[in-house]
Chains A and B, each alone.
Chain A
Amino acid sequence: MKRRTNLIKSIDWITVLLFLLLVLIGWLNIFAAVYNEQQLQNFDLSQQYGKQLIWIVAAILLAIIVFMIDEKFFFFFSYPIYIVAIISLLLVLIIGKEIHGSKSWFVIGSFNLQPSEFAKVATSLALAKFISSYNFRIDKLRSILTLFLIAVLPAILIAIQPDLGSAIVFFSFILVVYRAGFSEILLLIAIIFIGLFFLTLVVDKLFILSGLTFIALLALWIAERKIRYVLGAMIILAIFTGTLFGLNRMLEIGANYYFIVVAGLLISFPIYLIYAIRKKIRNILVVIGCLFISMLFSFSVDYVYHDVLKQHQQQRLNILLGLESDPLGHGYNVNQSKIAIGSGGFSGKGFLNGTQTKFDFVPEQSTDFIFCTVGEEWGFIGTSVVIGLFVFLLVRLIIIAERQRSDFSRIYGYGVIAVLFTHFTINIGMTIGLLPVIGIPLPFFSYGGSSLWAFTILLFIMLRLDASRMELLK
């Protein structure tokens, strides 16, 4: 079996090692999180750490099985696998079990299976297949739309369960798309909009509007270097806004200042546009366009926040942004989490010595907040090491992805990276108070069969593709 032995030789042992390390450390921390003085004596398989151990063993088996499957299988069956995933997501909405308010689970015997985790694998495969196919052209609108559909469809189904956290993961495929060639402007815009999003929530609308206008004027000046454009724009804006303001006062309309300024801007726009088109100054158009879009975005964020988001979601955002402090209510988890991590100090309190986790102060401490145990018991050293391992793994995956000869494998690789990175960022970010509380697991660490297996499969498909990279010439 020449191929087999070659395979075993060509497996990326570094990744395998990292995988095993993370799983092991994860397990130790679950043990610590559940550890209770009374259970010193028994190694109880019915406890979470016991179950996790079983699942780890099963995961390793899965990894081996996946690895033994012919690599072409994944390529050929990407779409079918994806369709199965979509069906399962539809199915779970109908016959699934509701746990903690979301219908995300299939119950098979005494066993819970979460299809949304496996959907991540399926979507990565499907995306990779699609982007690497002949029909795909990065600048074709149809391609872009299909791409969008593949990524967003599962997300929507998951969001209906509702499991907002898992749904958000699917937006990470932007990274895949970016690497595949999308304009980097897209990435930049994405980042800017994220920033604007948070800013809108924190700062008053009018303030933002003024800020945006100022930036627009500044951009104009930088682009054109002609003061008269800037001054002209300002004067026109001032005239219109001033008039509206005066009207407002005299007729006692009592309109919000924000709307007055918006109206002023909107009236000024046509004038700018006409001028720009006549004089053929493109930059003005660009600036106006950006300003307009930003205003629109800011406005819609505000609208969504106030009129669409549910109260507890609003609260989570508020707590994150420091607008609200609710250490006993919605802020409780995060606050306790920060306390647990913070109390670890430099070198932690020692294995099995976490007082916060020991005494059940951190809720969900073996699932979403598993990182707390690391922080509390292993301190800064521990947390840095874990972060380091993840970063190392991700960078290693980049290296692996880049050395692929086939587009499919490479794009799939980035899919793996995107999914793992998103989980890593959101989960840890949440426990240290940098991101709002979004419940998603930390890969290989958090307790849970479905997520562990899904991540294992995700990873080992990559390793399998990688092991036979020299052979695939697609």
Chain B
Amino acid sequence: MNTFAGRKYIVAGIIILVGLIFVIRLFSLQVLDSSYKFSADSNSRRTKILYPARGLIYDRNGEILVYNEAAYDLMVNPLQLRSFDTLDFCEILNITPADVINRIGQARDYSLYRPSIFMKQISSATYAVLQEKMYKFPGFFVQPRTLRNYPKNLAAHFLGYVGEVDEKTIEQDPYYQPGDYIGISGIEKSYEHVLRGKKGRKIVLVDVYNREMGSYQGGWYDEPLVVGKDIISTLDAGLQEYGEHLMQKFMGSIVAIEPSTGEILSMVTMPNYNPALLVGRARGDNYKILSEDTLKPLFNRALMAQYPPGSTFKVVNGLIALQEGVIKPSTEFDCYMGYFFENITVGCHMHESPLDFVRAIQNSCNSYFVNVYRRILTDPKFSNTEEAFNNWCDHIISFGFGQLLGTDMINELKGIIPNSGYYDGIYGKDHWNFLTIRSLAIGQGELGITPLQMANLAAIIANRGYFYVPHMVKEIRDEESINENFLERHYVSIDSTHFEQVVNGMDLAVNGGGGSTAWRARMQDIIVCGKTGTAENPHGEDHSIFIAFAPKDRPKIAISVYVENGGFGNIWGAPIASLMIEKYLNDTISRPYLDEYVLNGIRPE
């Protein structure tokens, strides 16, 4: 047997060779290849995203408008899934096993290794039951979230809503991950960066059953979350509530501004919706219903409806005329229930004739202002209509019409102001004059003004010549001041001296007695200044418009009311504005009959 003794070396050789191969392989695995180290770490490590509570929104007096409520997302990490009691699982969550398979499939498609949402916003009750049994379902865990909740059905457009972030935004801003929430309209959107805070991160160690076993590296890699900052908005909740109450049977808008600061006291759009509809799981379905509603409740008329301003526009033309010196306050024009020229007629209602400037405003005389407009466009200063028109446009623009005011609101629209190029296109260059575009004189024709712009106009007049850019937010907690843009005065191109006449005219329009178009707005103890408007509507009844401010001296509120199909401005526009003013200034309604009239259409006399 020993003749084969030499073979012991071969045997030993094989043994040593195997040992060597192992050592080399181990070297490669343990020392050279660091991917296993990371795999191991990620195997037993889970990164928890800590979602901060979104900032709250208050009204100007500290009343809560939006707050947060706890919600729970059920997450799944496909890599850590094991077989589990599907029946029990389905019972707790109230879904079918097929549903479970489907959702897991979706999660797998998204990523095998990273957790994704299995089920959004399970109720607290479900969460409580599930939490007890979590150990039975390895691979699943619950992510606490916050959802918005509203103490009152109020100011849906103003506040906006929060929904899931879309792909495009994720691409642009990697802070957001699929499933994150983001403000989509209103304050929620324009102040998203303030309200959202900053997501935090906590890395925990987990065992193979997905139970948390403690902090990774003592929390060294953790990042604390930053709570969202609260916002004090400019809104007056009581006023807003009242406004929505008054408008409940109408379609249209109310915008109220504090002239001395540009703060928006109220922004009512009707029809509106209950903000609670666009929260949580039901949001998708509700949004669909709302967006298909033919009355368009999601459409924020206050910012986006471009209405013809009607007679309210006369004050603007009046101011421009005074500024250009083509009329004086004492200038008078005749009116024989209309303006007649050749074969052109602009009708007017019955009133005294002739009227001077102030009385023309009081009576809202069409004829007067057509004449005024004629004078503006035939001003000898300018060589032709086009030049005069361009000059007129410049004035208009300084009032903030036809452009974005630069507010902090999303979806603000510019409005429509035609320019000479527009008319050149229709009629041909030099082929149009003031007669062609006479409807602009009385606020009809190719004009589109948003209720916000009209309220801003009221503010300009209230301030006698300047405005602050209207904005929604008064203060952001822990921040020095709001955006500087809102603290700047913007002067219009009209000298403030000219405003006094307009103010007087508007005073008379409300309080002047006979002939006053806005007598319904009159109040006992406060001098309200206002201007009615009635916009022609080829499709139905005319629209009822009203702008106003009060008190006449040191005004505290400037307001615009637009009621679609409301008839004369005085019928609905004026009383609504008046009630709003009273509510704001006195906090009580002393004329309940008026309130009832607005709501039920019973005229008091």
Contacts and interface: CB of A to CB of B under 8 A. Distances in A.
Nearest to B21: A434
Interface stretch (B23-31, B56-64, B574-582): B23-31
Interface stretch (A237-245, A340-348, A442-450, A459-467): A340-348
Contacts of A401: 8
B13 to A, nearest CB: 10
Contacts of B12: 395, 398
Contact of B19 (A390, A402, A434): A390
A103 interface: no
A328 B206 contact: no
B19 A341 contact: no
Contacts of A424: 18
A300 interface: no
Find the residue from A132, A342, A388 having the highest chain B CB count within 10 A: A342
A167 interface: no
B262 to A, nearest CB: 59
A37 B207 CA distance: 12
Nearest to B9: A398
A201 to B, nearest CB: 20
A395 B208 contact: no
A236 to B, nearest CB: 40
Contacts of A37: 213
A179 B26 contact: no
Interface in A409-426: 410-411, 414, 417, 421, 424-425
Interface string B1-15: 101110110111011
Contacts of A359: 44, 205-208, 213
A181 B30 contact: no
B41 interface: yes
Contact of B15 (A336, A344, A360, A421): A421
A206 interface: no
A407 B213 contact: no
A355 interface: yes
A342 B22 contact: no
Interface residues of A, number: 54
Contact of A356 (B5, B29, B44, B213): B44
Nearest to B33: A342
A398 B36 CA distance: 36
B1 A380 contact: no
B43 A361 contact: yes
B209 interface: yes
Given A181-B4, A391-B15, A395-B12, A356 B22 contact: no
A314 interface: no
Interface string B157-168: 000000000000
* Interface size of B as a range: 35 or more
B487 interface: no
Given A394-B15, A402-B8, A338 B29 contact: yes
A199 interface: no
A314 B370 CA distance: 95
Interface string B356-371: 0000000000000000
B128 interface: no
B294 interface: no
Given A359-B208, A380-B30, A398-B12, A343 B36 contact: yes
Nearest to B213: A359
A325 to B, nearest CB: 12
B30 A361 contact: no
A383 interface: yes
A283 interface: no
Residues of A contacting B: mostly = helix
A379 interface: yes
A181 B5 contact: no
A179 B4 contact: yes
Interface string A341-378: 11111100000000110111100000000000001100
Nearest to B40: A343
A328 B33 CA distance: 21
Contact of B22 (A175, A339, A394, A432): A432
Interface string B35-61: 111011101100000000000000000
Contacts of B10: 178, 184, 187
Contacts of A328: 79
A425 B14 CA distance: 11
A344 B30 contact: yes
Contact of B30 (A375, A390, A394, A395): A375
Contacts of B206: 359
B2 to A, nearest CB: 8
Contacts of B4: 179-181
Contact of A361 (B1, B5, B26, B208): B208
A240 to B, nearest CB: 42
A18 to B, nearest CB: 14
B11 A179 contact: yes
A428 interface: yes
Contacts of A184: 7, 10
A339 B36 contact: yes
A384 B36 contact: no
Given A359-B207, A398-B11, A341 B79 contact: no
Given A425-B18, A434-B21, A345 B37 contact: yes
Interface string B191-220: 000000000000001111100010000000
B36 A395 contact: no
Contact of B25 (A339, A376, A414, A432): A432
B1 A410 contact: yes
A442 to B, nearest CB: 12
B589 interface: no
A388 B26 CA distance: 13
A395 B16 contact: yes
A387 interface: yes
B553 to A, nearest CB: 76
Nearest to A376: B40
A180 B1 contact: yes
Interface of B: 1, 3-5, 7-8, 10-12, 14-16, 18-19, 21-23, 25-27, 29-31, 33, 35-37, 39-41, 43-44, 79, 205-209, 213
7 contacts: A175-B14, A342-B33, A342-B40, A346-B30, A346-B31, A376-B40, A428-B22
Given A361-B207, A387-B22, A391-B15, 9 more contacts: A175-B11, A179-B7, A179-B11, A341-B29, A343-B39, A346-B31, A380-B31, A388-B19, A432-B29
